[in-house]
Chains A and B, each alone.
Chain A
Amino acid sequence: MGRAARGLAASILLLSSGAAVAHMMGVVYNLPIPFWMYAFSASAALALSFLVVGYFVTAQNAARNFRTIDLGIPDARICGAVLAALRVSSVFALLLTILTGIFGPANPFANFSVTFFWIVFALGFTYLTALIGDVYALINPWRVICDWIERRNPGVFRPRFQYPRWLGYYPALVLYLAFIWLELFGQAPPRQLGLILLAYSVINVLGAGLFGPELWFRQGELFAVFLRLIGKIAPLDYRLDQAPGLPDRVQVRQPFIGLLQEPADHFSLLLFVLFMLSSTAFDGVHETRPWVLVFWKGIYPHLTALIERPYLFYVNIYYDWQWAMLFVSPFVYLAIYLLFVWVMKIVTGSARTVRDLALQFAFTLIPIAFVYNITHYYTLLLTQAPAIVPMISDPFGIGWDLFGTAKVYRAPIILLADRVWHTQVGLILFGHIVSVYLAHVQALKLFPRGRQGIWSQLPMLALMMVLTTIGLRILSLPIAAGQVQDPAPAVPTSSADFPFMLTSADSALAPRDPDEN
């Protein structure tokens, strides 16, 4: 199958031409939003922000009316049974993903593990978590495995080392960087995905063994941290009992209010949130024409002037550069964020440190990060997720038909481009308003009212405007036809005025035969 070949050949594709907008998750059919829509939504974001400000100016008590309702546990036995079933299926899904990855078809588009992990879990389950809350904390397959091991060997997971306080969420952050790198640049065949998940399982058991499961699955395991943050959006909250695993009560709250219930408790968690923002922004921008040109028009000519190397050398540099930008991106966002927090401290004359304020407002960025994520990936979910239907009947690709769906034709759902645009713009505006709203509530809580007046609100509002405008602008940028410039043609033109083009498809690079046109 050509699609398979394309996935596998993508790494050697570098030289032939640029791959389309494709990464581990599949192919995106999105068009950049038109400029007028960008202009509209940026202005709308600004106007709506001031409406929110106006709302707060006239409301003295907006922060008061948040409450949570305890649902308790309807029936402890039924709940326990459902939960036990979910935990078993969670481990089963993990094992199946690893096994089908290693032993299933080599074609990434036909392999269960790729679609299940990247589409159903990484996208679908994230969005589900935003609706129903952090169920993952209860059914985390690695946690369940550790519980099982502990039941057989009591005491095996007692913490062996004191977890250093400074380490915070850095393990999860490093794993998150690796995860996004794999998503954007890893052209790993399914087999490697299976092995990576196996290695990650070993890491998790080791981490739990060293520092205790409680701590590791709160601060070390990437998806636990990520989905806990996303789960704060949801209207449902599961308060954990002391006994691991079983929630002792379920609470209902207004959506998004969970983000205000506690501040970030470590600087590394702030970085984690900023990377949620910057990784999606980077994914959006790294294949757009202006961004690709930064290297090939801005950096490449200087490099060639400095060092003379074969063309492939520069292609490698290009990828190193892209990776470096990905890893630098959260720190760029950090600098922007701290700048605005610092201004806020000056404006309000608050006695709190910049660091403290930065942690207090960290979670108010999550709605923006979350809608970034949806706008970038929801079409992917629609086009790729139907493929799981035939795959669950034949996960190993060996001719099974377990549920009679193996032959079901899966038509990718491709939405109309203008409908996609409207959804994207609407979602971004929505996330922006929620973030502005949350930041205001937080400001009311932290700064005594009256003294600073409306001015205390403006720095955060400006920050949200910057973040939203960046997100919208990225959506509107034209997509590069190719990532990498073609190597010098067989008959090179004079190097002095080497015609600089982005893609091999741009004909200038190759000698052209007059009669071929």
Chain B
Amino acid sequence: MIVKPIVFMLAALIVLAALWFFFKPQSPELPAPVGAEAAAVNAPASRSAPVGTPGTAVQSPSTGNNVFELVVRGGKPVSGPPVLQVHEGEQVILNIRSDSSDELHLHGYDLHARIAPDQTTSLQFTANRTGRFGLELHRAHTELGALEVYPR
């Protein structure tokens, strides 16, 4: 009997489709839980820090422009979000300032930027590739954080 497997296959497809449309959020509602959680965990940081720019990690996705400030001292990040979250297609501006010369490398995008000591270096690009990409200082062998680009 070939009919029964086909019937069950069809039933499976219908169930899958129904569940898919039930769970899939409307398109304007972009995935935010990760950002929200990061913000929650970041909260103590801003409370204890004397001066800070809290919440840089969760910029509003609607602005379409994301400016991140990273400060590095002695090869270690001292300020700035550990995870930069943006959405696909958005402009990203990454300002980095270090007390020593170094080279910044964004994996996956393979972007490199030379950093001169005590000068702000700016890296500008469009986040057109989705995924999670490491942000690394070559000379200090430091993983500064990661860029997370979420699909639209």
Q: Do A and B bind each other?
A: yes
Which listed residue (A27, A43, A59, A486) contacts B23, Cβ 8 A? A43
Q: Considering the chains assembled together, what is the distance between the CA atoms of A504 and B144 in angstroms?
A: 9
Q: Considering the chains assembled together, what is the distance between the CA atoms of A6 and B126 in angstroms?
A: 26
Which chain A residue lies CB-closest to B134? A20
Contacts of A59 in B (CB 8 A): 4
Question: Which bracket fits the contact residues of B?
Answer: 35 or more
Is there a chain B Cβ closer than 8 Å to A88's Cβ? no
Is there a chain A Cβ closer than 8 Å to B82's Cβ? yes
Contacts of A6 in B (CB 8 A): 136, 141, 143
Which listed residue (A16, A34, A289) contacts B140, Cβ 8 A? A16
Q: Considering the chains assembled together, what is the distance between the CA atoms of A249 and B12 in angstroms?
A: 38
B15 A48 Cβ-Cβ under 8 A: yes
Which listed residue (A16, A17, A18, A31) contacts B132, Cβ 8 A? A31
Which listed residue (B78, B130, B132) contacts A21, Cβ 8 A? B132
B19 A47 Cβ-Cβ under 8 A: yes
A17 B52 Cβ-Cβ under 8 A: no
Interface centre among A39, A478, A482, A501 (most CB of B within 10 A): A478
Which listed residue (B37, B48, B129) contacts A508, Cβ 8 A? B48
Secondary structure class of chain B's binding surface, majority of residues: mixed
Contacts of B134 in A (CB 8 A): 20, 22, 27
B19 A29 Cβ-Cβ under 8 A: no
B83 A507 Cβ-Cβ under 8 A: no
Stretch among A223-231, A258-266, A308-316, A414-422 lining the B interface: A414-422
Question: Which bracket fits the contact residues of A?
Answer: 35 or more
Q: Which of A466-501 contact B (CB under 8 A)?
A: 478-479, 481-482, 486, 493, 497, 499-501
Given A2-B138, A478-B38, the answer on whether A514 and B131 have CB atoms closer than 8 Å is no
Stretch among A50-58, A140-148, A208-216 lining the B interface: A50-58
Flag B1-27 by CB within 8 Å of A: 1 or 0 each.
Answer: 000100010011001100110111100
Tell me how far the C-beta of B114 lies from the nearest C-beta in chain A, rounded to whole angstroms: 13
Flag A341-368 by CB within 8 Å of B: 1 or 0 each.
Answer: 0000000000000000000000000000
A44 B19 Cβ-Cβ under 8 A: yes
Tell me how far the C-beta of A124 lies from the nearest C-beta in chain B, rounded to whole angstroms: 21
New contact pairs (5) apart from A54-B8, A507-B80, CB-CB < 8 Å: A2-B136, A2-B141, A17-B77, A51-B12, A418-B151
Closest 7 pairs (CB-CB, A-B): A481-B82, A417-B130, A505-B82, A20-B134, A2-B138, A40-B23, A508-B45
A-B contacts, 28 of them at CB < 8 A, read A6-B136, A6-B143, A20-B136, A20-B143, A31-B149, A36-B31, A40-B22, A40-B23, A40-B24, A43-B19, A43-B23, A48-B15, A48-B16, A55-B4, A58-B4, A289-B37, A293-B41, A417-B131, A417-B151, A486-B76, A501-B44, A501-B45, A502-B82, A505-B82, A506-B42, A508-B45, A512-B79, A517-B52
